[in-house]
Amino acid sequence: MTQDELKKAVARAAFERIQKHLDDDDSVIGVGTGSTANMFIDLLGEAAHRVNATVASSEETKRRLEAHNIPVFDLNSVDEVSVYIDGADEANDYLQLIKGGGAALTREKIIAAVAREFICIADASKFVKVLGEFPLPVEVIPMARSHVGREIVKLGGDPVYREGVVTDNGNIIIDIYNMSITDPRQLESDLNQIVGLVTNGLFAQRPADLLLLGRESGVEELKAR
């Protein structure tokens, strides 16, 4: 199977899992960003008339949802998010994640924080023993770029400015290379202390609740320990 076929399989598995949220006036579905999330959106589009409300983790996701005539709301106008579906750049077996490859990490982390249930969908290439092979993205206020870079070096990482990328919030992205992340929760806290760093792409303190992992043998379901 190709990587795209594996992504499609997990998107479909997620769509099947959220059936109880269709035709439900109280349900709000959080929708992530990226190619795997896009496959989920396209499936949701087939049931657009049954979707009460969604919140989007990026402008791109909002546009795609609206193109399917799926109602998108501002997060501030909904009471809660019933379930959040999103991809990941890496996941470990505690369902801790690296996210932000698509530069949408801040809005993604906000929705994950609010969501009652967070279902991560990924092909098996994203599953790792130790997080950090994929460069860890952080969103940064533009004027703090050099300061944040120096602080990242103190923590042992190699910061690389992602050229030409401006986030939906008007900020920049720095990718942290060569960071073997043995204590994701601690590193998430340490990065959060850096002034000018808006959000880091470690989802360790609020990991996923369920990981649907696309393997050649089928979709594996991993629950948070």
Active site residues: 108
By CB under 6 A, residue 32 contacts ligand 5RP: yes
Place of tokens 């959106």: 41
- Select the span of 76-84, 87-95, 168-176, 183-191 touching ligand 5RP (CB under 6 A): 87-95
Q: How far apart are CA 84 and CA 111, in angstroms?
A: 7
Q: How far apart are CA 53 and CA 70, in angstroms?
A: 7
By CB under 6 A, residue 86 contacts ligand 5RP: yes
Q: Which of 13, 18, 30, 101 binds ligand 5RP (CB under 6 A)?
A: 101
Q: Which of 21, 62, 64, 99 binds ligand 5RP (CB under 6 A)?
A: 99
By CB under 6 A, residue 21 contacts ligand 5RP: no
For strands 158-161 and 172-177, give the pairing: antiparallel
Nearest approach, Cβ of residue 127 and ligand 5RP (Å): 13
Q: Which of 44, 53, 85, 88 binds ligand 5RP (CB under 6 A)?
A: 88
Taking alpha carbons only, the member of 221, 174, 212, 155 closest to residue 39 is 212
By CB under 6 A, residue 89 contacts ligand 5RP: yes
The first and second tokens of residue 191, run together, are 């990065």
Q: Which of 6, 44, 85, 105 binds ligand 5RP (CB under 6 A)?
A: 105
Q: How far apart are CA 150 and CA 164, in angstroms?
A: 21
Q: Which of 30, 100, 132, 207 binds ligand 5RP (CB under 6 A)?
A: 100
Taking alpha carbons only, the member of 206, 204, 161 closest to residue 183 is 204
By CB under 6 A, residue 33 contacts ligand 5RP: yes
Query: Residues near 63 by Cβ (< 8 Å), separated by ≥ 6?
Result: none
Nearest approach, Cβ of residue 68 and ligand 5RP (Å): 18
Q: How far apart are CA 198 and CA 109, in angstroms?
A: 11
Binding residues for ligand 5RP, per CB under 6 A? 32-36, 86-89, 99-105, 108
